[in-house]
A and B are shown apart, each in its own frame.
Chain A
C-alpha cells in the first residue's frame, strides 16, 4: 500500500470521510439545521464525482502495488458505474428532501447512511477479488436494511426491514457457500486467477454448484424470480425514496458485480451456466410482467416491473459477448433514470401524507401537472422499450446480443413480455390522460422537478442521439470484453 494506491482509492476515501463527517455534524450542533444536510450531501456527491473523474486520469501514469491490484481495479468499467452511482445517490438525496422534512426524522444520519451505501457500491464496482466484492456488497446491504427500516414509527417500514434483513442474510450465506466452493476448486479468490484456473479445467460439479450459489446470491440482489419474494413488500413498506434507491442504485451495483464476475471469471464454463441463467431470466420476465398486470398499487406494480427488468438485463450476461456487456451498461443507465423519474412522480402525489400509491391517484394528472404527466409517459414508454425513447436502445442491444449468442427463444420471450408490459404501463397513461378525477393533491417541489427534468433529458437524449452514450459505453466495456474475445 503506497500513496499511489491511496490516490486510486480517493473517491471511496472521500465518500467514507464525508459520510463520517455527516454523522458528526448533529453532535456539533447541526441537529437543528436539518435542511443543511441536503446541501452538504450534494456537495459531497459533487466532490466524489470529481474524484472519480480525477482518478481515471491518475490511472494512466501511476504504478500500483500488486497486492493492491489483486483487490481493487480502477478501470473504465468501474468508473462508468461509479459515476452512475454518484448521480443516483444525488438524485435520491433530492427525492428524500420533502419526505424527510414531513416525517421529522433526523436527516444527517439518513444521508450519512446513503453515503456509506455509495461507498459499498463503489467497492462492488471496483472489486476484482471476491473478498472486496463481498464486503462491498455487505456494506451496501447493511445500509439498505437500516434505511428500509428508517421510519421505525411506521409498522410497515419495520416489517419491510425485517423481511429484507432475513432474506438478505440468507442470500448472503448462500453467496458465501458459493464463494467457498469456488475457492475450494480454484484455490484463489481473485477473479483473473479463477479464470486462469478454470481455463485448464474440464467440467466440475462442485464448481458448477458454487457458481450457481453465487448467482443465486446475486439474483437476490437484482430481484430475479426465484429470489424475488422480498421485492414488492420492501418497496411498499420502505420509505419511498429508499424504494427508489433499492430499485435503481442497489440493482445497478449488483449488475456491475454480476457482469464483472461472470465476464472475467467464468467465461470458460459459459455453456454450463448460461442455460440455468436463461431459465431464471425467462421466469423473471414472465412472472414479473404477469404479476404486475394484476396490481392496483403503483409501488407493487413498479416492484414487479423491476423484477421483469432484472430478467431483461440478465440477457446481457447470458449472451456473454460484446453486445451483451454493452447492453447491460446502457440498459442499466436507461432503466435507472426512467425509474427515478417515475418514483419522483409518485413522491409528488400525496394522499393523507402518503405518497401516491394507487392507480386512481394518477387520474387526470395531465390537467393538474402537465409536465409531470408528459414526462411520466416518456418514462413508461422507455421502460416498455418503445422508440424513440432510451429504453428501445437498451433493449435493442440486449435482445440482439441474445440472438447473436444463439438464445433466440429467450429474445422472443423478452419481446413478447415487453409487449405485455406495455399493457400495465399504458394503464397509467390512460388514467393520467383519459380519465377524469380529482385524485391526490400534487406537491411539486423544485427538487422533484429537477429530478424529473434530468431523468427526462437523459431518457430523451439517449433515445434520439444514441451515438455519444453508446461510444462512451463501448469504451467503458472494451477491456472486459477484451478478455472474452481473447479466450
Chain B
C-alpha cells in the first residue's frame, strides 16, 4: 500500500505528461487552426497541473488565468475572425518541412542528452524557501541592568507560495516589475495602433471590399425577389 501511495505522483506525472506531449503534437499537426488552438489549451492546462505538482501553486493559477483564459481567447478570436471556412486545402507544410523536421530532431537529441542528473546547481538546504519570506521584526531584549530594548532582526516567516512570490516581486524585483508594466502599456498601444482598421485620409470614402460585395449581393437578391 505504501509503495502504491508513493508512486501516485509519478503516475499522475506520467499521465499528465503524456497528455501534454500528445496534445502539443496535435497542435502542430492539426490542419484547422481552431483545433490547434483547442489542443494548445489542453497543453496549457496540463502544464498548469505540472506547475502545481512542482509546488508552484501561484504560477499554476496564473498559467490558467493568463494562458488558458487570456491568450487562448485571443487566439480563438483571431482565428475565427480570419478564416474558419477558407482552410488551406492543398498543403499545410512549408516547402522546407523536411529540413525543419531534421533540425527539430537534432535539437531534441541535444536537449535530452544535455539534461541529465548532476549538471545543475546543488540543492538549497532550506526546503521552505519557496513558501517563506523574510520579515523585519522587533523583539524585546532584557538587558543585564533590567531595562528592555527593542531590537530589529529579520527572520524567515513561513507563508503561502503566493505570498512569498508577492513579497519577492514587490521587494527584490520591483525594477523589472515596473518595466513589465511599461511593457503591457506598449503592447496595448501597439495592438490598437496596428489592429485598428484605420482608413487613411486617402481611402476614407472608399468602403472596404466586403461591404461593396455585400451591397452588390443584396441588390441582386432584391432584384431577384422583385422579378
Contacts and interface: CB of A to CB of B under 8 A. Distances in A.
Interface of A: 1, 9, 16, 20, 23, 67-68, 70-72, 104, 106, 109, 112-113, 116, 119-120, 123, 129, 131-132, 135-136, 138-139, 142-143, 145-146, 149-150, 152-153, 158, 161, 181, 184-187, 197, 204-207, 209
Contact of B183 (A1, A72, A139): A139
Q: Is the interface of B mostly helix, strand, loop or mixed?
A: helix
Nearest to B170: A1
Interface string B115-150: 100011110100000000000000000000000000
Contacts of A152: 193-194, 198
Contacts of A119: 179, 182
Contacts of B111: 209
Interface residues of B, number: 32
Contact of A161 (B183, B194, B200): B194
Given A104-B201, A206-B114, A209-B110, A67 B183 contact: no
Given A71-B172, A146-B194, 11 more contacts: A1-B174, A70-B172, A120-B179, A131-B173, A145-B190, A152-B198, A153-B202, A184-B120, A184-B121, A186-B121, A206-B119
B121 A187 contact: yes
Interface in B95-117: 110-111, 113-115
A104 B200 contact: yes
14 contacts: A9-B175, A23-B189, A68-B174, A71-B175, A113-B189, A116-B182, A116-B186, A120-B179, A135-B179, A139-B182, A139-B186, A142-B183, A142-B187, A143-B190
B64 to A, nearest CB: 21
B185 interface: yes
Contacts of A187: 120-122, 124
Nearest to B183: A139
A276 to B, nearest CB: 14
Contacts of B186: 113, 116, 139, 142-143, 146
A145 B193 CA distance: 12
A346 B147 CA distance: 80
Nearest to A148: B194
B193 A185 contact: no
B115 A146 contact: no
B54 to A, nearest CB: 14
Contacts of A20: 185
Nearest to A186: B121
Contacts of A197: 121
Contacts, number: 99
B109 to A, nearest CB: 12
Contact of B182 (A16, A72, A185): A16
Contacts of A123: 175, 179
Q: Nearest 9 A-B pairs (CB), nearest first?
A: A187-B121, A146-B190, A206-B119, A184-B120, A67-B172, A71-B175, A206-B114, A135-B179, A135-B176
A321 B29 CA distance: 49
A14 B122 CA distance: 42
A111 to B, nearest CB: 12
B15 interface: no
B214 interface: no
Contacts of A109: 189, 193
A27 B157 CA distance: 48
Contacts of B172: 67, 70-71
Contacts of A138: 183
Interface string B40-66: 000000000000000000000000000
Nearest to A208: B114
A136 B189 contact: no
A139 B179 contact: yes
A142 B193 CA distance: 13
Given A20-B185, A71-B175, A142-B187, A150 B193 contact: yes
Contacts of B119: 184-185, 204-207
B194 A149 contact: yes
A204 B115 CA distance: 11
A204 B119 CA distance: 7
Contacts of A136: 179
Given A138-B183, A205-B114, A132 B190 contact: no
A146 B180 CA distance: 17
A205 B111 CA distance: 10
A423 to B, nearest CB: 32
A50 B183 CA distance: 25
Contacts of A131: 173, 176
Contacts of A186: 121
A135 B189 contact: no
Nearest to B195: A152
B169 to A, nearest CB: 11
Nearest to B201: A104
B152 interface: no
B121 A132 contact: no
A1 B172 CA distance: 8
B175 A68 contact: yes
Given A139-B179, A206-B114, A209-B110, A185 B174 contact: no
Contact of B175 (A120, A132, A153, A184): A132
A16 B180 CA distance: 12
Contacts of A206: 114-115, 119-120
B190 A142 contact: yes
B200 A185 contact: no
